[in-house]
Amino acid sequence: MASSKKKTAQPEGEAKRTRFQKFDAQDIARSQIKNATYNPRTITDRARKLLRDNMKANGLLGSIIWNKRTGNILGGHQRLAALDALEGNQTYTLTVDVVDLDDKTEKEQNIFLNNPTAQGDWDLKALEKMLAEDVNLENAGFSQSEIFQLFGDGALKGGTELTAELAEQVRLTQERFKKIRDSKGKNLDSPHFYSLLIFRNDAEREAFCKAIGVEDNRYLNGTEILEKLKAANVTA
């Protein structure tokens, strides 16, 4: 199916479009879009359901990025899969952001667009303020256990049901670590090993970060944490 390029007339006297925009919005057939076979991102069943439910309730709120040179998705694999599931077929059309990149650049940008380290961190005070307002945690993509990890038990409201959910998360985590510990030949340098530091309030967290010389609200690897603690004369 032929594609139709969307053009917007430039109103007289208005500023020109930035020269840094390297995409054009275009309507194409779903059949023209291919999943990048190398795409390294995965998604859990829970996250997939959250995405599908959110799109069902609110629609597709951002364009898929599509490389016309290869036909591959550059960004939006999971959203497109959710859209397929909601449509029940792949015979529809949609508006995509079209780019024209060589293979190397396409792969680099696929990683960049999905790389958490390039997406910044939460401002915890601002996030907590928003969640304290009329914001549904599930609709925002959070579970109660994830809110606990970010803010501690002071953020949990509602009693036994939430406590039970958190306890179940702890139990499952313990089981996973037991399996890893008992298995032979397991790579103990896996990035899936992590520690969670929980502070009683914002002041304690900010004081800790300041004491060891790290930016507040950052994810750090264990080696870096130890180095910072040693430099601050804290015995690990």
Residue 154 to residue 198: CA distance in whole angstroms: 11
| Token pair 């992590």 in the structure block, residue | 194
User: Do both 196 and 104 map to the same domain?
Assistant: no
Task: Identify whether residues 139 and 62 lie together within a single domain.
Answer: no
pLDDT at 229 over 90: no
Task: Of 1, 19, 17, 20, give the one whose Cα is nearest residue 9.
Answer: 17
Please give the mean pLDDT across all residues of the chain: 78
Residue with tokens 């599509």: 66
User: Do 102 and 128 have their domain in common?
Assistant: no
- pTM here is 0.60
Q: Which of 63, 90, 118 is the last residue of a domain?
A: 118
Same domain, yes or no: 27 and 111: yes
Q: Of 93, 118, 143, at which residue does a domain stop? A: 118
pLDDT of residue 44: 85
Last residue of a domain, one of 71, 101, 118: 118
Looking at the structure of the chain, the number of domains it has is 2
pLDDT tens-digit series, residues 128-166: 788 777 787 778 887 766 776 677 655 555 444 555 565
Domain extent for 67? 21-118
Q: Each residue of 28-39: pLDDT tens digit?
A: 999 999 999 999
Check whether residue 132 and residue 112 sit in a common domain.
Answer: no
Residue 191 has pLDDT above 50, yes or no: no
> Could you report the per-residue pLDDT of 50-94, keeping only the tens digit for each?
999 999 999 999 999 999 999 999 999 999 999 999 999 999 999
